[in-house]
Structure 1
Amino acid sequence: MFDTMTLTKVIGGLCGTFLVFLLGGWAADLIYATGGGHGDHHEQAYIIEVEGDDHSEEVVEEVDFSVIMASASAADGEGEFRPCKACHSVEPGEHGIGPSLYGVVGRTVGAEDGFGYSGSLVAVADVWNADHLNDFLERPSGFAPGTAMNFNGVRKIEDRANLIAYLDSLDD
């Protein structure tokens, strides 16, 4: 059924088709070129001025965490703790994927018995005070690079303060 001549015609037809597509693309680039490639840089035809658009960087006001922490609500922090329940427990000595967070505020880092901490976490801080917890909860991988905790962090500083107030309210 397939002899050498038929196979040659099929391969020639495929190559011819690809050549037509290649030449068609090249012709379209010549006709509809916008000058955006290979070193052709043209100035913009016109610029639209927008009032109040001075491209200045906004200055982010640095807020003292102790001020926010003073007004934190443990009740609101309990709601912030809901996602943490997937990996952490608030019962003493009961570990999940993460260690028990009962009494974590004021506790020595890496001191929870029966849980293996990642080495980078233990090397970052001595005691879990409110400032260390704030920094950790903002972005765990930024506070302790190489930590095994797979969590993106809590973005809002008020939410972090509420969560820390809740954790502080758990122990005696």
Structure 2
Amino acid sequence: MFDTMTLTKITGAFCGALLVFLLGKYAAETVYKASVPHGDHGEEVVQGYIIDTGAEEEVVEEGVPIEVILAAGEASKGERVFNKCRACHLLDAGENGVGPYLYGVVGREKGAAVDYAYTAALGDLEGAWSPENIYAFLENPGAYAPGTAMSYALKNSAERADVIAYLDSLDD
């Protein structure tokens, strides 16, 4: 059964498979090296492929008044964006979740949600939650009120405006 010809065929098949593997490896390295510079001397590495996640990048226009951004907010879109907030906030008046209820938050005094224990960072703030204040808070809660328990920020300005329009539409 194992004669010289069979052994030669097996060796040839092994060498052919090895050759195909090495050629594939060489082609992959060539493609990789063409797309990413290499070296150990602090050279900047460029991303080889861009993966589209479907998320839109925020385009920040310098000098656009916040009133214009807030006026462009759509309550119908804000309802969808608010799903990100539902993990911690409820919309029913007086029913708190991890965060305070948000029914009537636009125009409500800061730290005034019934039966909610605010952190000192938010409890000590004075004034009402105007759309501009909410916008700044949603952009960066830690910078607006250092020490706040809220860490989630909406990075997209259009989403912030949409959520504010939605929250403002809830309490007539």
Q: TM-score, normalised by structure 1?
A: 0.63
The amino acid of 2:148's aligned partner reads T
| Matched letter for residue 93 of structure 2 | P
Asked if 1:167 is matched to 2:170, the reply is no
Instruction: Describe how 1:1-172 pairs up with structure 2 within 5 A.
Output: 61-151=62-152, 153-172=153-172
Distance 1:123 1:63, change over 3 A: farther
Q: What do residues 125-162 of structure 1 show as CA deviations (whole Å, max 9, x unaligned)? A: 411000000000001011100001131x1111111000
Structure 2 distance, partners of 1:125, 1:78, is 28
| Residues 124, 143 of structure 1: 8 Å contact kept | no
**Distance of 2:91 and 2:97 partners within structure 1:** 10
Q: Is the 8 A contact 2:108 2:128 kept in 1?
A: yes
**Structure possessing the higher radius of gyration over alpha carbons:** 1
Q: Which consecutive unaligned segments of at least 5 residues does structure 1 have?
A: 1-35, 37-58
User: 1:120: how far off?
Assistant: 1.1
Indicate conservation of the 8 Å contact 1:125/1:132, yes or no.
Answer: no
Letter in 2 for 1:163: V
Superposed displacement of residue 60, structure 1:
5.9
The residue aligned with 1:23 is none
Counterpart secondary structure, 2:86: helix
Letter matched to residue 165 of structure 1: A
Counting matched residue pairs gives 117
Q: Please, what TM-score do these two structures have when normalized by structure 2? A: 0.63
Judging changes above 3 Å, is the alpha-carbon distance between structure 1 residues 117 and 66 closer, same or farther for their aligned structure 2 residues? Answer: same
Contact 2:139/2:155 (8 A) holds in 1: yes
**CA distance in structure 2 between the partners assigned to 1:137 and 1:91 by the alignment:** 20
SS of the equivalent of 1:81 reads: helix
What is the CA distance between 1:72 and its match in structure 2?
1.2
Q: Which residue of 1 aligns with 2:32?
A: none
Deviation above 2 Å: which 4+ runs of structure 1?
122-125
The whole-number CA distance in structure 2 between the counterparts of 1:156 and 1:150 is 15
Question: RMSD of aligned C-alpha atoms?
Answer: 2.2
Give 5+ residue unaligned stretches, structure 2: 1-40, 42-59
Q: Tell me if structure 2 keeps the 8 A contact 1:74–1:166.
A: yes
The code of the aligned residue for 1:68 comes to I
